[in-house]
Amino acid sequence: MRAEQISVFLENKAGRLAEVTAILAEANVNIRALALADTSDFGVLRLIVNDNATAVAALKNQGFTVGKTDVVAVEVEDKPGGLHRILDILHQAGINVEYMYAFVTQSGNNAIMIFRFESIDEAVKLLEANNVKVINGSEVYTL
């Protein structure tokens, strides 16, 4: 039930993000979801793409430091309180969300959120027990 996210280390310099997107475009990789966390000096770009192997190879080849992390893609009802319900389930169970971001496309009528947990198996089990739909990794890349 895990999806693989790639992350890229970026210095806070003008045009750096555009270089990453250019490399991915060149390699014919489609970005499915993206989030940038930054400090005044550096940033970490997190990406869900349609072809991890190609993306990682292309970025490494251009000298970027690239990491891979397992994340969870969760369907969220696209209505007031949809996200809150999920966060509440996690909070009640004492499961910490390291970070999260939204997916570009929808799954049916639902929004999709990417969650990064420290204890991923526990989180997935909990969500499924509460009838929250966790999307398969292979599905996520091609949604």
Partner 1 sequence: MILDIGFETMPREDLEAIILRRLKATLERIYANVPFYRKQFEENNITPDDIQSLEDLKRIPFTTKEDLRDNYPFGMFSVPMNNVVRIHASSGTTGQPTVVGYTARDVSTWADLMARSLAAGGATREDIIHNAYGYGLFTGGLGIHYGAEKLGASVIPVSGGNTKRQIVIMKDFGPTILTATPSYALHLSEIADDMGVSFENLKFKYGIFGAEPWSENMREDIEQKLQLTAVDIYGLSEVIGPGVAIECYEAKKGLHIFEDHFIPEIIDPPTGDVLPYGETGELVFTTITKEAFPVIRYRTRDITSLNPEPCKCGRTHVRMNRVSGRTDDMLIIRGVNVFPSQIESVLMEMDDVEPHYQLVVDREDKLDTLTVKVEVGERIFSDEVKHLQDLERKIAKNIKDYLGVSAKVLLAEPKSIARSEGKAVRVIDNRKI
User: Which residues are registered as beta bridge partners of 36?
Assistant: 45
Least separation in angstroms between residue 52's CB and partner 1 is 14
Q: Give contact residues for partner 1 (rule: CB under 8 A).
A: 5, 7, 9-11, 37-39, 41-44, 46, 63-67, 69, 98-99, 116
Least separation in angstroms between residue 121's CB and partner 1 is 18
Query: Using CA atoms, how far apart are residues 91 and 94, in angstroms rounded to an integer?
Result: 5
Which of 61, 65, 32, 64 has the alpha carbon at shortest distance from 49?
32
Least separation in angstroms between residue 49's CB and partner 1 is 14
Asked if 47 contacts 55 with a C-beta cutoff of 8 angstroms, the reply is yes
Nearer to partner 1, 28 or 65 (CB): 65
Asked if 43 contacts 10 with a C-beta cutoff of 8 angstroms, the reply is yes
Nearer to partner 1, 71 or 76 (CB): 71
